[in-house]
Amino acid sequence: MMKKRDFIFVIAMICSSVASADDPTPVTHWDFQTVNADGISSFDYTPYQVVLEGILLNNPEMWLDPTPDPTVASWFMGGQWEIFVQGEDNDHAGTACWMGQNYYNGPGDESYTNEEWLAEICRLNRDPNTGYIFRAGDRIRVTGTYLFYAGKLNINENHDITPMFDFTVELIKPAVGPPQPEEIHISDLKNHDDTEIFDPNRLTGGEYYQARLVRIEDVNVVAPENWGSGNTITIQDSNGLTFPVLLTLGSGLSRYDCPTGQIDVIGIMDQKSTGISPNLDHTKGYRLLVLNYDGNGLVLGDTGHPRGNLPGDINNDYIVDFKDFAEFAENWLQNRAGLYGFGR
């Protein structure tokens, strides 16, 4: 992640409005994610905080590792937490909401201690009014400050641990259900020469689908040797167009082999601008985040419809045996940061 000095121009605009800030400004995801011809945000930075509503697309611990780690070194962020919220109805856009533990990446008081970090993500993982733990498919409301990073405008803390920059997540309605993924092809994301489509009007290409749930149809995995959580594989269509797919932390991505043959892929469209800071190209770097896989062989993605409910069937292969015990033993006494040890 970028260091704070890389965000000075945005922080200055935000901080200049703090003194005169009124109530947080409700905005649509579509308006919030507007960009210029160079891919940099064109959103009006007048409001200090904004309010966004939509459907939660992911359980954050399946995307980034929230485990606290106080190590301070260049570019080391320690625990991280991020959710994607998709707009509904005509609000055809989505927004990422991100936090990191070690904002300063070095000695100083601008990073969270382990205890502070756990308290912060525990707060964000639960509805403040009911204690309900958020789950993918909930309708939520996010209120907070924001920064542009790597191609998209994010809700975050401006790399500042002071309470003034805290953002909040509230429950509107639980278990609404995840949105149906938009069915697309790689040709909706790539030109004929396999270069990325960038449309600043966001009517096509990666910008149109960014931070939303999509289903890329009729592809093959062409680099299966890269299979595994945290790795990037490449999918290809029958015309030779390719697209990167980042495999995240879902347990099935480590448990099952890479699917073969023609498949569909379901995930969240993301962007991480290419190049080296500060010379990033914000018109490139689109990728698909796949959160999990159930080994079905036909659809790579978190389908959300597991079969079998035998107690003890940890690996979901429909039989309780020593393979389940091995996974149980491997994870003995481990816990998920931000969800364990904090009551309502």
For the chain, give every domain's residue range: 4-173, 182-300
Share the mean pLDDT of the chain.
91
Lowest mean pLDDT across 108-112, 118-122, 280-284: 108-112
Per residue in 182-197, pLDDT (tens digit) is: 999 999 999 999 999 9
Reported as a pLDDT band with limits 50, 70 and 90, residue 217 is very high
**Global pTM value:** 0.91
Tell me the mean pLDDT in the region 234-246: 98
Predicted pLDDT at 100: 95
Lowest mean pLDDT across 4-18, 50-64, 179-193, 323-337: 4-18
Residue 99 has pLDDT above 90, yes or no: yes
Longest dimension (CA), the chain: 63
Reported as a pLDDT band with limits 50, 70 and 90, residue 13 is very low
Predicted pLDDT at 275: 93
Predicted pLDDT at 276: 86
Lowest mean pLDDT across 71-75, 282-286, 289-293: 71-75
Residue 8 has pLDDT above 50, yes or no: no
Predicted pLDDT at 216: 98
Residue 11 has pLDDT above 50, yes or no: no
Percentage of the chain lying above the pLDDT 90 cut: 82
Fold annotation for 182-300: OB fold (Dihydrolipoamide Acetyltransferase, E2P) (2.40.50)
Predicted pLDDT at 343: 54
Predicted pLDDT at 277: 79
Q: Which residues contact residue 156 at a Cβ distance below 8 angstroms, ignoring those fewer than 6 apart? A: 97, 98, 99, 144, 145, 146, 147, 149, 167
Predicted pLDDT at 309: 87
Reported as a pLDDT band with limits 50, 70 and 90, residue 45 is confident
Q: What architecture (CATH level 2) is domain 4-173?
A: Beta Barrel (2.40)
Predicted pLDDT at 110: 84
Tell me the mean pLDDT in the region 133-153: 97
Predicted pLDDT at 104: 81
Residue 280 has pLDDT above 70, yes or no: yes
Residue 271 has pLDDT above 80, yes or no: yes
Tell me the mean pLDDT in the region 71-89: 88
Per residue in 57-79, pLDDT (tens digit) is: 999 999 999 999 877 665 789 99
Predicted pLDDT at 22: 67
Segment of 54-63, 105-114, 269-278, 326-335 carrying the highest mean pLDDT: 54-63
Predicted pLDDT at 18: 45
